[in-house]
Amino acid sequence: MIDFNKKIVNSDKFRQAALFFEKNGCYTFAPEGTTDYFNYWKQEQQRCLNGYTAPDGD
């Protein structure tokens, strides 16, 4: 169950892809067309469709 009253202090844990892009100008260093590239985008797609739970449970 989601606690909507809980305040999230460090929201950067939910925007790791954005932070990586801001730092590096790309989302992944994996070359386009490789297994690592497809796995990265599959993981991001799953996070968009199903949500993301941070390691601390948020």
Per-residue pLDDT of 12-21, as tens digits, reads 888 999 999 9
Contact indicator for 12, 19 with CB cutoff of 8 Å: yes
Pick the closest to residue 18 from 8, 10, 26 (CA basis): 26
Distance CA(57)–CA(23), nearest Å, equals 26
| Residues 15, 44, 51, 55, CA torsion sign | negative
Contact indicator for 27, 21 with CB cutoff of 8 Å: yes
pTM assigned to the model: 0.76
Res. 1: pLDDT tops 70: no
Residue range 6-51, pLDDT digits in tens: 777 778 888 999 999 999 999 999 999 999 999 999 999 999 999 9
Contact indicator for 54, 14 with CB cutoff of 8 Å: yes
